[in-house]
Structure 1
Amino acid sequence: MFFMMLSCFLLCFIFCVYFCLFRVTLAPCAPKVRNNSQRTLKADATCTPKVNLMFMKTHKTASSTLMNVLLRFGEKHQLRFALPDGRNDFFYPSSFFRTQVKSYQPGLCYNIVCNHMRFNAPEVEKLLPADAFFFTILRDPAQLSESSFHYYKAYVPQTWRIPGGNQLEEFLNDPSRYFNPQGINAFYLKNLQFFDFGFENNLEADDVRVQESIEFIEKRFQLVLISDHFEESLILLKDALCWQMDDLLFFKLNARNVTSVSPMSPELRTRAREWNGADWRLYRHFNATFWALVENYGRSRMEEQVRELRRRNAEMEAICIDGGGAVEAGDITDGHMKPWQPIGKASILGYNLRSDIERQYEELCRKMLTPEIQYLTDLGVNLWVTRLWGCVHLLDLH
């Protein structure tokens, strides 16, 4: 009897130790998230925080800032991420397949997918529980085209022969003169958001397939955010996911220095939207649905929540950031905090951590300010492909 009790005790002890050591990898697919201030959405219904999430991370839409929010939430609640393997995206621009997930095993269930991919709904759905919340973010294609043109032009050979001081304006004045849809990385130049969702990016805006694609996105994604109204987007996301304001605090990541941003006249904006006609139609549709959600939420309530978010972010800036704002990469003293820099003049800003941060805020401050590449490395992703490309990048610069 004694030996039986001793054996049971040892088995329980081993199980407890094993669980404590490996609880992150053994996290259940849909764990309960404790919400100490559970709130009421309607008079007769309380909400439960959502933890099974698919964030379709589109390019140049403040998505890296939002990804940081998701990574912090997932770590805090010991959720299981579906992470890429070898690089910081799922082999973009190739279509996504679940076998691209790090340490993928058939039948393994994940809580959060949030890295760049070219969306492939059936493959993504096989990674997540049936109740997973799908959301994404869009940006006015005029602003997006300016950002993507300068950020990626070194990787798009057909832009190299564009003359003049303002290459974007020259390109948009006569795109057909320079654009080759079959060229290397040509998708960066036309309807990039449509391409990210897995659709044909060279469709004209009036093509029936554009409307069909928009309808597909509307059915598959429960929420489409607008980066041009980022704070309002976060408030809607907080409401949809039943999260707390603390979960949504953020600093802008992967932002360019204003000196590398080309001003766009109203005429140039119009040309950019016409050239990216499918994206413009996509954006207008979901911009309308976005503001309908804001109206339903309540304008005055939204304004109050945005003010509170800004107040809390300002508090964190004072607590975390040395100098109070972003700086050039060369002025960042901690190498682990330096953001990835594209080839060319598109300088990406980063932050210096204060040296006198109170202990209770140290971890949060560091995570809020950690660039995507370093954060993924901290999560155990071996980014050897990304780092190899970074070495080529440095050789090119020299």
Structure 2
Amino acid sequence: MRKFALQAFFYDYCIPTSHSSLSGGFLSGLEPMVRNLGLDSPVADACRAAAFASHGIKLHRKFLIYQAEILHQNLLRHLALRIQTPAANSKENLTIAVLLGLYQMIISEENNPGHHTAHAAGVAAILQIDNNYSRVLQTVLTGHPLLLGSRQKIGIPSPRVEIGIDRWLLNILIKFSPMWKRMEAFFAGVPNAQDIFDLALDIKPELIILDRELEDWQKSQKEEFKPVTIDSGVPPSINPGAGYYPGRVDMYIDLYVATLWNISRIALCILKNLMARLPTMPSDDSYSEPDQQTAFHMAEDMIASLPYHLSEDLQIFLKDRHKHTKITNPGRPAGGLLIMHAIHAASRLEILPLDMREYFETCLTWMGKRMGIGQAAFLAEASGIDSKYLMDGWLLILLGLLV
């Protein structure tokens, strides 16, 4: 059973690099690491814990979930001992911390958010940096001994590597993070009209610059990196199930590329939502793109990517789409894991139509039940989720793209 669990994890969660100059994959270096360290190594057991948990949820097998928790507890003790040694800050420990964070995201329940935040803090401690995803991005871009092997995956220049596709995107996200946090904290305090006007005067020009940078990033991508529309989609229906929202269906080179596109899309949606909350300024005259229209198109693009993220075989999905009301052939859980934070964020944006937001919640619920990702179901139902909880989850996903 241990052998099969490891094989299942590699299939379900490890996405190999499909194109060396365009894609970094997801957990793409994990299988070689396990084979190098040994099939009974702590890293291998961390993979098994995630596999047992995911399949236990999907198959409703409490025994598998119990086996996962035993492995999890053993690994916690292992890490506690290792961090007291000179080898505390090792690539092996970093990988285990990331995998245990993913495990916590998998076993989350509708009434139990899980404890991935503790493992995100452990990751930051191993990297010896502050625990926030902007700091992790900066660390990756500037270099870190434990992440040097990842620098090529995100296109950081070296004597043999050209500038890649997402260095620009990561820099935009680093600049966006503090402004997003500032605005969220500001509106949480119920400001008056004058305060809102003063904030708009101060921050809106910067938001517009970032908005244009994100749009420029999308427009500048190579043709082979862009999505390809393979179907016009399903007809309109009431309460569409996962994968069945009316509209087109797109495919990508791989899930890594699809994820970067959706990161840029949700960032644009959030920016548009933030700008819509601010009054129009005289300096906005040269900026005529309607916020709501752009956000709607970005959300449509995310929806068009969902069958690719969530189905096992797009051709089967397209062939059978008139027979069903939701995806019946769930794909690799990695596909759901990589998009769940983006669609959760979209489901909470007032700038998007209600039916679209409800559809995103429907997809999250489906991912929890059919893909074995407990946190997806939690995100669909929970309200007032702490932003740190979400950002720590995104941090762990980000590091999965780099491992």
Normalised by the length of structure 1, the TM-score is: 0.30
User: Which structure's CA Rg is the greater one?
Assistant: 1
- Report the TM-score when normalising by structure 2: 0.30
Q: Whose relative contact order is higher, 1 or 2, with alpha carbons under 8 Å and at least 6 apart?
A: 2
